[in-house]
Amino acid sequence: MINRRHDENAHRPTTIRAVPHPDELDARGIPISCPHCRARRDWLLLNVREHVFIRCRCAYEWHEPDLTRAFFEQHFTAPEEEWGDFDTAMRALAFDGLLAGTTWD
Ligand SMILES: [Zn+2]
């Protein structure tokens, strides 16, 4: 679980839940690929309120309307961890762009 503060005066932080998804995603029957680096798997799914975002190893992140919160709940099985801020969480999960282009075999 990640708490992301938009600004110092925010009344309460936005809770972001993150779950790694090492395989391909094909919500539309077509494997989703990263618009930035063309990767086709090894995602981090982010749930913010009712929205699901996909983050790539290259640190590119986008809102994916085809992925619903229900889909996220189905895949959210990772043990819950908590980070103070989003950037720390992305570094801890190795989704800060450092491993861009890396493939795991
Ligand atoms: Zn990418």
Domain ranges of the chain: 2-92
- Measured CA to CA in angstroms, residue 30 lies from 24, 25, 56, 66 at distances of 10, 8, 17, 11
Distance (angstroms) between ligand 1 centre and the Cα of 65 equals 18
> Exposed/middle/buried for 18, CB within 10 Å: 0-12, 13-18, 19+?
buried
CA of 92 to the centre of ligand 1 (A): 18
Distance 75 CA to ligand 1 centre (A): 21
Q: Check residue 29 and give its pLDDT.
A: 85
Along the 105 residues of the chain, how does pLDDT read in single tens digits? 565 555 544 555 667 888 889 999 987 788 999 999 999 999 999 998 889 999 999 999 999 988 999 989 988 875 567 777 888 889 988 899 877 776 655
Q: What is the pLDDT of residue 27?
A: 79
C-alpha closest to that of 54 among 39, 2, 101: 39
pLDDT of residue 37: 96
